[in-house]
Amino acid sequence: MQSQKLKPWETATKPSDPTKANYEFAGWYTESTFTNAFDFDTPIDADVTLCAKWVLPVLVQTGNSTGFGSGNEVTLFDRKWRILGIKNSNQALVVRTTPLTDVEMGLGTAGTQLQIAFLTAAAGNREDGSGLRSYYYFDSDGSNGYEDSGCDGCGIKDAIDTYFEVASGSYPVDALRVLPVELNSPTLADYFAPTYSGVASQLKPNDGSLTYANWSWADGPTYARDPRFAASVDASGTPQAFAPGLGDIRYIIGGSSTTFEGMRFSNTAPAGAYWLRSPGAAARQAELNWQNAFQNFYHVDGSNEKLLVRPAMWISLGG
């Protein structure tokens, strides 16, 4: 927009709407936070700087054809994603309706759905440069197993990060919709902190004192209701895909149910079983979802306990 010189108490001339590739113009505002729309009938008695507001086009939603849950679906990165819930009118938590495949990971050409070990680290590949860690969700230094699985050649976070990097490069317009988030992955100290009413009474050592290798939930269903550690949309965070967690689901559905129909994609194992990023019910376990229920009987080591991976993202629905 070109500047306009006005006499005191004259009104500005409204310019033609500007254009910007991949965005829609949503009006002129008097501040960069886009709180107050500018009225071109307002007499001007001082210098005014206007800011153009740009929004993404409204994303087309289709009805959920699986028969499970009530979430609509959207298409991003040439795949269907189910809307698990919407916050702030246009921010949606979505999860992919199909698991990652060998083609997407550069590991084959058959389009086979990949089963991956959670795998908190591989030999010599921990972020701190050390070797193979002990196979517990939390390590002796208190680090988080999902975050540790992101090291090169490790487990599910590495797989999801690799997928997202490739998909974003192939579909850059779709990548504009992915919102920056903080995963809020807990350290051991965070997880043991009694900020959730169920933690103080339910986290128990098998013997002795609570340690990274010596803890479990006394009551299985209680941990599945843990509302902590949801990924949060945060401008200082990173646009990314991630394995959904218990906190994410609890943030969306509230309440205390240990099942969620929106997370069901198949009734059969292993097709319907996929990793979540949360700790399970004991020191060596990570959480998973099977059918519509949260389960905890798979371990984080590199054994044959492998499951499918369905990435989740927070996205803008546009508008």
- Residue spans of the domains in the chain: they are 1-55, 73-316
What is the pLDDT at residue 69?
A: 40
| Least confident piece of the model among 7-21, 57-71, 106-120, 217-231 | 57-71
Q: Which pLDDT band holds residue 223 (cuts at 50, 70, 90)?
A: confident
Predicted structure pTM score: 0.85
More confident residue, 290 or 301: 290
Helices vs strands, H then E, count in the chain:
7, 16
Alpha carbons 119 and 281: distance in angstroms, whole number: 17
Whether residue 73 contacts residue 55, with contact meaning beta carbons closer than 8 Å, is answered with no
Q: Exposed/middle/buried for 18, CB within 10 Å: 0-12, 13-18, 19+?
A: exposed
Q: With residue 172 as reference, give the H or E element that holds it.
A: helix 172-175
pLDDT at 67 over 80: no
Mean pLDDT calculated for residue range 294-311: 79
Closest CA to 170 of 239, 79, 305, 258: 79
Highest mean pLDDT of the ranges 29-38, 53-62, 117-126, 286-295: 29-38
**Mean per-residue pLDDT of the chain:** 84
Alpha carbons 301 and 312: distance in angstroms, whole number: 23
What is the pLDDT at residue 292?
A: 73
Percent of the chain clearing pLDDT 90 (strictly above): 41
Whether residue 260 contacts residue 225, with contact meaning beta carbons closer than 8 Å, is answered with no
Q: Which pLDDT band holds residue 68 (cuts at 50, 70, 90)?
A: very low
Helix, strand or coil, per DSSP, at residue 282: strand
Identity of residue 19 = T
